[in-house]
């Protein structure tokens, strides 16, 4: 038996939706909190399964975790012990690698199983490991686990070959207790990095330059507890903006930071979307005669790789041919075959996909996907199906909904409030 989500298409969306706290920030902020020597209160936490997986790992370390309300978590590492993280929860999400930097920074020793996560093509953690080695850590790989040792971390200059978000955050966390100054050059600039640096600075760290390509960290001896509110989720915001552009009569999206969404919003204006941008919201109205546009994903502040797939679904409704070029994760085009099953014409090459103006016309079942394995489905691929289902004729069935719940809080409830006809069923 399996729970699925079903969507009946052709129901115009209308109303207001509020965006949750950033998932990508949350999964780094929670491990970062263990660097404190007192309780850390984080609010704006999204209700997603990744938070539960991280909470399991925290409790395995002896950290007290108190989820006080639907969006507030208190993390108290006062009685924490540095234990090996080799349990199955490590394999459930890639973000478990942030415990490498946090534990190395706090204790000088880490033993952790190889992190898991979605398969999007090669995503090695070599940059993380090189950064830790530059700070003075010795690294071994033994029976599926990394073992890192550093009697004393020492600040140094680190140049990242690729502006990696994960490596930037991980090295930053390891360096907060290092002796002297650490400089990260060619650092990633994503808003989530600024959010993690803000938390660490509230705790007493000395980090400057987050959000630029050069970050400096002057090591400190102690970090204290604090209160922190997570930034809005720019990927969730972008998803609702795109699905509203595809299926809305009029939808207002609240709790956003428009600056974080400039690449998407400017592209939507280019294709002819009717939108009105406020201080912390955007209103999307029904748009006709959308025009084709070319998209190229780039590191922030460029067009986000996480939103190229949903936008491809929208571009199947545009007049003309659009070319989408993926430069971050070269295998992120599995959604094209799913759109084609629903009547679109989206053709994937090795490094680029082309979506034409052929409309989406039929329902599909994700369980019949040609993907190599069900566990390789990521939230965004299912979101593409969901967006297509909103504009398709008939009923679309989405299986493996656990993957949506990993990254999107109460998505069926939020869409129902907007007038979508979406429900859950248990099937064999």
Catalytic residues: 118
Contact at 8 Å (CB) between 299 and 164?
A: no
Give the closest residue to 174 by CA, choosing from 211, 125, 141.
Answer: 125
Q: Which residues contact 27 (CB under 8 A, 6 or more apart)?
A: 50, 51, 54, 93, 95, 98
Distance of CA 65 to the CA centre of its chain: 22
Angle between helices 165-175 and 23-32 (to 10 degrees): 20
Whole-number Cα distances in Å, 230 to 73, 194, 250, 316, 410: 11, 11, 28, 34, 18
Helices (H) and strands (E) in the chain, counts: 14, 22
Structure token pair of residue 347? 């053709």
Residue 203: strand, helix, or coil: helix
Strands (E), 255-408: 274-277, 281-285, 295-296, 322-325, 346-348, 352-355, 395-398
């Amino acid at each position: 038996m399996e729970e699925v989500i079903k969507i009946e298409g052709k129901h115009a969306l209308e109303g207001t939706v509020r965006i949750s706290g950033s998932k990508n920030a949350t999964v780094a902020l929670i491990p970062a909190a263990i660097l404190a020597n007192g309780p850390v209160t984080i609010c704006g936490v999204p209700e997603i399964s990744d938070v539960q997986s991280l909470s399991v790992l925290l409790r395995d370390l002896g950290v007290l975790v108190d989820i006080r309300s639907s969006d507030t978590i208190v993390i108290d590492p006062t009685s924490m012990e540095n234990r090996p993280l080799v349990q199955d929860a490590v394999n459930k999400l890639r973000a478990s690698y942030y415990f490498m930097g946090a534990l190395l920074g706090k204790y000088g020793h880490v033993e952790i199983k190889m992190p898991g996560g979605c398969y999007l093509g090669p995503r090695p953690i070599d940059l993380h490991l090189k950064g830790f080695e530059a700070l003075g850590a010795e690294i071994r790989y033994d029976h599926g686990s990394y073992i890192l040792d550093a009697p004393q971390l020492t600040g140094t200059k680190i140049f990242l070959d690729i502006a990696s978000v994960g490596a930037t955050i991980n090295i930053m966390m390891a360096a907060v207790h290092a002796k002297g100054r650490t400089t990260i050059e060619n650092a990633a600039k994503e808003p989530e990095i600024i959010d993690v640096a803000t938390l660490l600075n509230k705790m007493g760290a000395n980090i400057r330059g987050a959000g630029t390509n050069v970050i400096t960290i002057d090591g400190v001896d102690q970090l204290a507890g604090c209160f922190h509110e997570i930034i809005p989720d720019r990927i969730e915001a972008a998803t609702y903006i795109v699905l509203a552009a595809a299926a809305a009569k009029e939808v207002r999206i609240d709790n956003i930071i428009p600056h974080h969404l400039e690449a998407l919003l400017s592209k939507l204006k280019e294709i002819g979307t009717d939108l009105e941008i406020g201080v912390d919201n955007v209103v999307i109205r029904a748009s006709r005669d959308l025009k084709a546009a070319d998209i190229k994903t780039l590191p922030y502040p460029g067009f986000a790789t996480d939103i190229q797939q949903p936008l491809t679904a929208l571009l199947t409704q545009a007049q003309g041919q659009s070319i989408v070029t993926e430069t971050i994760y070269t295998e992120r085009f599995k959604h094209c075959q799913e759109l084609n099953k629903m009547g679109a014409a989206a053709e994937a090459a090795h490094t680029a996909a082309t979506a034409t103006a052929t409309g989406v016309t039929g329902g599909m079942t994700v369980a019949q996907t040609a993907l190599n394995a069900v566990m390789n489905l990521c939230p965004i691929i299912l979101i593409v199906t969901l967006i297509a289902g909103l504009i398709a004729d008939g009923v679309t069935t989405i299986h493996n909904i656990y993957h949506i719940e990993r990254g999107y809080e109460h998505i069926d409830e939020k869409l129902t409030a907007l007038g979508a006809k979406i429900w859950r069923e248990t099937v064999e």
